[in-house]
Amino acid sequence: MSKLKIVSFGDPVLRQNAKPVTVFHGKLHTLINSMAKTLKSSSNGAAIAANQISVLKRIIVIDYDKEYFELINPEIIASEGEQTDYEGCLSLPGYFGLVKRYDYVKVKFQNRDGEEFIVERTDRLARCFQHEIDHLDGILFVDRMTEEFLVGDGNDSKIRRQDVIDIADGKILTESKR
Ligand code: NI
């Protein structure tokens, strides 16, 4: 079980579709354990999707608000209401943007052994589920933002949403890639 590298906006894997998990064996368990460890050692991450560690499989680990979930092949089967709040991402540290989401979601998923479950949540956990399931479809929170700028964490800096989308799409190279 090792800590994995979290990729940043601009890595093409964040724009790709993750494939359903069909085999629930020991290797899957090792991968999920590593995702959980990686999430725990990140500074303020609430959740991680497999795309973020360069694995195109439909796996999400959430450790947020004293709740822990491992969601394999998650699917939103019902939703209701709306909420708008700031959202960030482990793949874009230090910046947050306003995103409108459903206030309630009902999610069907499998656990690490392939057993099916249903979970219902509102508010922040519902937001978290939607953000992470989007990752599995190559969708990033900036795609759903309602304002033109993202704001810096604890400072006055701002970055334009469109610039972040261009970075995510590989149209603007970031310092580390030059
Ligand atoms: Ni994210």
Q: How far is the CA of 11 from the centre of ligand 1 (A)?
A: 13
pTM over 0.75: yes
Residue 50 lies in a domain: yes
The DSSP letter of residue 21 is: P
Instruction: Inform me whether the pLDDT recorded for 177 exceeds 60.
Output: no
Does residue 148 have an active-site annotation?
A: no
Residue 41 lies in a domain: yes
Residue 173 lies in a domain: no
Q: Tens digit of pLDDT for each residue in 108-134?
A: 999 999 999 999 999 999 999 999 999
Q: Which pLDDT belongs to residue 113?
A: 97
In CATH, what number is assigned to the domain containing residue 136?
A: 3.90.45.10
Listed residues: CB within 5 A of ion ligand 1? 89
The DSSP letter of residue 50 is: G
Residue 1 lies in a domain: no
Question: What total of structural domains would you count in the chain?
Answer: 1
Instruction: Inform me whether the pLDDT recorded for 105 exceeds 60.
Output: yes
Instruction: Inform me whether the pLDDT recorded for 53 exceeds 80.
Output: yes
Residue 49 lies in a domain: yes
Domain span at 154: 12-167
Q: Which pLDDT belongs to residue 29?
A: 97
Q: How far is the CA of 31 from the centre of ligand 1 (A)?
A: 18
Biggest CA-to-CA distance, the chain = 47
Q: How far is the CA of 95 from the centre of ligand 1 (A)?
A: 11
Which residue pairs from 34-38 have beta carbons closer than 8 angstroms and sit at least 24 positions apart in sequence? 34/1, 34/2, 34/3, 34/4, 35/4, 35/59, 35/61, 36/61, 36/63, 36/70, 37/1, 37/2, 37/3, 38/3, 38/4, 38/6
